[in-house]
Amino acid sequence: MAGPQLGGAAVMAVDELDTLILALRADGYRVVGPTIRDGTIVHADLERSSDLPQGWTDEQGPGTYRARSVDGDAQFSYAVGPSSPKEELFPPRQRLWTATSDGDASFQVVEEVRETPRIAFLGLRGCELAAIAIQDRVFLRGSYQDEVYAANRSDTLLIAVECGSPGGTCFCASMGTGPRVDDGADLILTELLDGDPRFLVRVGSDTGAALLERLTHREASAADLDAREQVVTAAAAMMGRTLDTDGLHDLLLDNLDHPRWDTVADRCLACTNCTLVCPTCFCSTIEDTTDLRGEKAYRDRRWDSCFGLEFSHATPASVRTSTKARYRQWMTHKLATWIDQFGTSGCVGCGRCITWCPVGIDITEEAAAIRRASDPTPADLPVPPTGAR
């Protein structure tokens, strides 16, 4: 049957996920989505729906992650893992050029060919869609367009699945990035587990409408739409964290000498985990290497972190020599000066930085601690919980 047009809704059976993945692969897409690997739910290539983490969920808290098997038919009963679409669109390491010796003292430089891969992301959460939109703003709509990101982003298809199982470190509801998804994807799925397991499918683009036409589906009923509303409402109520963003920009910038920065620095290892798992952090550096014979040289771009001592090195020394200064730079940029640069917060509330911090530093609690010390009525403020969901 013909599928609904832009903004319309339909229902498909769980078995149609296999049809969807095979159709995308037949169209030449790499299908990238969640799968279980080494005890963690990560983004990886999918060949069939059996690669999805059916029967798996995750438990997350500060410095804590555990994937565990559960009973039931859910395909997407988890929050988010350590990987994100950033790894495909803005790779951790990217070759820029290769220089080959011509036998004399000079080299011939050959720029790396920019491929435009077809990537279909399946299972994106609302926070991950928001992160892609932020990186689009940084890499594509500024004064400089990044050619690597532009090539990787040019032929992508986005299929979101609304989150029904937020983790103990999630706070996307505070940031307005989830769990509800209303736009930003070609297709938006909601897994409905009341009665017969099924997916509510909403169309977000003409490409999504054409794709839905190739799947067996029926028109969504009022009961289906109501079931979807119950899923996202319940998920929003189960958030493991909250972040009060009211006046947060000025609050942080007005408290650059707050003693809380010393307190967190005593715990921070400056290990860079938070920036590596963050779906929006975009800092990079250039690395030049040669082979052992001195016949070839390579220039690569790789991820960098503002937590590294050399990141702010300006002759003769680093500008930010202390862990305190580097943590303060990261947090105030993410939640305050990012807004000055790009018009939005750099945080989407996914909670990865809390989960994957070895010592469990919680960005929501650090912001709340500064607010409590600056607010004359701190008892009226919610304090984020400290345990996993």
- The DSSP code sequence of 139-168 is HHSSSS--HHHHHHHTTEEEEEE--SS--T
Q: Quick one: pLDDT at residue 387?
A: 45
- At 2 the pLDDT is 55
Please indicate, yes or no, if residue 109 is contained in any of the structural domains: no
Residues 272 and 310 in one domain: yes
Cα separation of 5 and 291, whole Å? 55
Query: 313: which strand partners?
Result: 318
Same domain, 280 and 215: no
Examine the domain organization and report whether 146 and 66 are in the same domain.
yes
169 within domain boundaries? yes
Residue 292 domain flag: no
pLDDT value at residue 3: 58
Structure confidence at residue 225 (pLDDT) = 95
For residues 188 and 260, state if they share a domain: no
Judge whether 297 lies within some domain: no
Could you tell me if 185 and 217 lie in one domain?
yes
- Same-domain check for residues 254 and 233: no
155 in the same domain as 71: yes
Do 225 and 331 lie in a common domain?
A: no
Same domain as 256, residue 167: no
Evaluate whether residue 110 is within a structural domain.
no
Q: Is position 108 within any domain?
A: no
CA distance 199 to 161: 9
Residues 206 and 272 in one domain: no
Domains held by the chain: number:
2
Q: Would you state the pLDDT for residue 102?
A: 78
Residues 257 and 139 in one domain: no
Task: Give the pLDDT of residue 376.
Answer: 56
Residue 389, in any domain of the structure: no
Shared domain for 31 and 137, answered yes or no, is yes
What residue numbers bound the domain in which 266 lies? 248-286+304-380
Q: Which of 213, 237, 261 is the last residue of a domain?
A: 237
Which helix (H) or strand (E) segment holds residue 236: the answer is helix 222-237
> How many angstroms separate the CA atoms of 88 and 125, rounded?
16
Question: pLDDT tens digits for the chain (389 residues)?
Answer: 455 767 689 999 999 999 999 999 999 999 999 999 999 999 999 999 999 999 999 999 999 999 999 888 789 999 999 999 999 999 999 999 999 987 777 889 999 988 889 999 999 999 999 999 999 999 999 888 999 999 999 999 999 999 999 999 999 999 999 999 999 999 999 999 988 899 999 999 999 999 999 999 999 999 999 999 999 999 999 998 999 999 999 999 999 999 999 999 999 999 999 999 999 999 999 999 999 988 899 999 999 999 987 887 777 777 788 899 999 999 999 999 999 999 999 999 999 999 999 999 999 999 999 999 876 554 444 454 544 43
Contact 67, 40 (CB under 8 A): yes
Return the pLDDT at 389: 35
The answer to the question of residue 362 being in a domain is yes
